[in-house]
Protein backbone atom coordinates (compact mmCIF):
# COMPACT_ATOMS: atom_id res chain seq x y z
CA UNK A 1 0.00 0.00 0.00
CA UNK A 2 1.15 3.48 -0.72
CA UNK A 3 1.67 6.06 1.95
CA UNK A 4 2.75 9.66 2.19
CA UNK A 5 4.50 11.26 5.13
CA UNK A 6 4.69 15.00 5.52
CA UNK A 7 7.23 15.98 8.14
CA UNK A 8 5.95 18.84 10.24
CA UNK A 9 2.25 19.50 10.57
CA UNK A 10 3.00 23.20 10.99
CA UNK A 11 5.79 25.25 9.44
CA UNK A 12 6.27 28.92 10.20
CA UNK A 13 8.51 31.21 8.13
CA UNK A 14 9.12 34.91 7.82
CA UNK A 15 8.07 36.80 4.73
CA UNK A 16 10.91 36.60 2.21
CA UNK A 17 12.40 33.46 3.73
CA UNK A 18 12.82 30.09 2.07
CA UNK A 19 9.88 27.75 2.24
CA UNK A 20 10.66 24.04 2.55
CA UNK A 21 7.85 21.54 3.01
CA UNK A 22 8.91 17.92 3.27
CA UNK A 23 7.24 14.93 1.73
CA UNK A 24 8.34 11.30 1.66
CA UNK A 25 6.40 8.52 0.02
CA UNK A 26 6.35 4.78 -0.19
CA UNK A 27 5.21 3.06 -3.32
CA UNK A 28 5.85 -0.31 -4.91
CA UNK A 29 6.01 1.24 -8.38
CA UNK A 30 7.36 4.55 -9.65
CA UNK A 31 4.67 6.94 -8.55
CA UNK A 32 3.06 10.04 -9.82
CA UNK A 33 3.51 12.76 -7.21
CA UNK A 34 1.50 15.88 -6.55
CA UNK A 35 1.43 18.93 -4.32
CA UNK A 36 -1.92 20.58 -3.66
CA UNK A 37 -2.66 23.76 -1.72
CA UNK A 38 -5.81 24.42 0.28
CA UNK A 39 -6.69 27.96 1.28
CA UNK A 40 -9.16 28.44 4.15
CA UNK A 41 -12.69 27.37 3.28
CA UNK A 42 -11.69 26.39 -0.24
CA UNK A 43 -11.06 23.24 -2.22
CA UNK A 44 -7.67 21.91 -3.21
CA UNK A 45 -5.70 23.49 -6.02
CA UNK A 46 -2.89 21.73 -7.84
CA UNK A 47 0.51 23.39 -7.38
CA UNK A 48 2.58 20.95 -9.41
CA UNK A 49 2.97 17.32 -10.33
CA UNK A 50 5.69 14.86 -11.26
CA UNK A 51 4.97 12.12 -13.75
CA UNK A 52 8.09 11.19 -15.68
CA UNK A 53 11.13 12.94 -17.10
CA UNK A 54 12.74 15.93 -15.45
CA UNK A 55 12.93 15.45 -11.72
CA UNK A 56 12.75 19.16 -10.92
CA UNK A 57 9.20 20.30 -11.41
CA UNK A 58 8.09 23.90 -11.49
CA UNK A 59 4.60 24.85 -10.46
CA UNK A 60 2.42 27.86 -9.96
CA UNK A 61 3.11 30.77 -7.61
CA UNK A 62 6.88 30.23 -7.71
CA UNK A 63 6.85 26.78 -6.10
CA UNK A 64 8.97 23.87 -7.26
CA UNK A 65 9.64 20.34 -6.12
CA UNK A 66 12.32 17.78 -6.81
CA UNK A 67 11.68 14.07 -7.14
CA UNK A 68 14.50 12.10 -5.54
CA UNK A 69 13.96 8.40 -6.09
CA UNK A 70 16.87 7.33 -3.92
CA UNK A 71 15.43 9.27 -1.00
CA UNK A 72 11.77 8.58 -1.88
CA UNK A 73 11.18 12.28 -1.41
CA UNK A 74 9.32 15.06 -3.16
CA UNK A 75 9.99 18.18 -1.11
CA UNK A 76 8.30 21.46 -2.00
CA UNK A 77 10.28 24.69 -2.01
CA UNK A 78 9.87 28.37 -2.73
CA UNK A 79 12.81 30.78 -2.50
CA UNK A 80 10.90 33.67 -0.95
CA UNK A 81 7.67 33.37 1.02
CA UNK A 82 4.79 35.78 0.54
CA UNK A 83 1.98 36.43 2.97
CA UNK A 84 -0.40 35.02 0.37
CA UNK A 85 1.35 31.62 0.62
CA UNK A 86 -0.21 30.98 4.02
CA UNK A 87 -2.32 27.88 3.53
CA UNK A 88 -2.32 24.14 4.05
CA UNK A 89 -0.22 22.07 1.68
CA UNK A 90 -0.83 18.45 0.83
CA UNK A 91 1.52 16.01 -0.81
CA UNK A 92 -0.14 13.15 -2.67
CA UNK A 93 0.86 10.04 -4.55
CA UNK A 94 -1.05 8.23 -7.26
CA UNK A 95 -0.14 4.77 -8.36
CA UNK A 96 -0.38 3.64 -11.93
CA UNK A 97 -0.45 0.25 -13.51
CA UNK A 98 -0.31 -0.81 -17.10
CA UNK A 99 -3.93 -1.01 -18.10
CA UNK A 100 -4.99 -0.06 -14.61
CA UNK A 101 -7.81 2.23 -13.77
CA UNK A 102 -7.24 3.29 -10.22
CA UNK A 103 -5.73 6.73 -10.08
CA UNK A 104 -6.91 7.62 -6.63
CA UNK A 105 -4.76 10.03 -4.70
CA UNK A 106 -3.29 9.05 -1.37
CA UNK A 107 -2.66 12.21 0.62
CA UNK A 108 -0.33 13.10 3.41
CA UNK A 109 -1.72 14.66 6.59
CA UNK A 110 -0.93 18.15 5.37
CA UNK A 111 1.40 20.93 6.48
CA UNK A 112 0.01 24.25 7.60
CA UNK A 113 2.27 27.06 6.42
CA UNK A 114 2.24 30.30 8.39
CA UNK A 115 4.02 33.35 6.99
CA UNK A 116 5.01 36.01 9.50
CA UNK A 117 5.44 39.66 8.48
Partner 1 sequence: DSGVTQTPKHLITATGQRVTLRCSPRSGDLSVYWYQQSLDQGLQFLIQYYNGEERAKGNILERFSAQQFPDLHSELNLSSLELGDSALYFCASSVAWVGPDTQYFGPGTRLTVL
Q: Which residues contribute to the site for partner 1 (CB under 8 A)?
A: 32, 36, 42-46, 49, 51, 90, 94, 96, 101-110
Q: Which of 53, 50, 52 is nearest to 64 (CA)?
A: 50
Contact (Cβ atoms closer than 8 angstroms) between residue 91 and residue 70? no
Give the shortest CB-2-to-partner 1 separation in angstroms. Answer: 11
Q: Which of 19, 26, 20, 18 is nearest to 7 (CA)?
A: 20
User: Given the complex with partner 1, which of 10 and 79 has the nearer CB atom?
Assistant: 10
73 - beta bridge partners?
24, 68
User: Given the complex with partner 1, which of 59 and 62 has the nearer CB atom?
Assistant: 59
Give the shortest CB-44-to-partner 1 separation in angstroms. Answer: 4
Give the shortest CB-86-to-partner 1 separation in angstroms. Answer: 19
User: Given the complex with partner 1, which of 17 and 49 has the nearer CB atom?
Assistant: 49
Give the shortest CB-48-to-partner 1 separation in angstroms. Answer: 10
Q: How far is CA 31 from CA 24, 43, 47, 63, 78, in A?
A: 12, 24, 17, 20, 23
Amino acid sequence: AQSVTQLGSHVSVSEGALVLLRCNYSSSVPPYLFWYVQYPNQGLQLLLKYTTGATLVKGINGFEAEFKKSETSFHLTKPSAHMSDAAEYFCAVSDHYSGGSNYKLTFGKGTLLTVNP
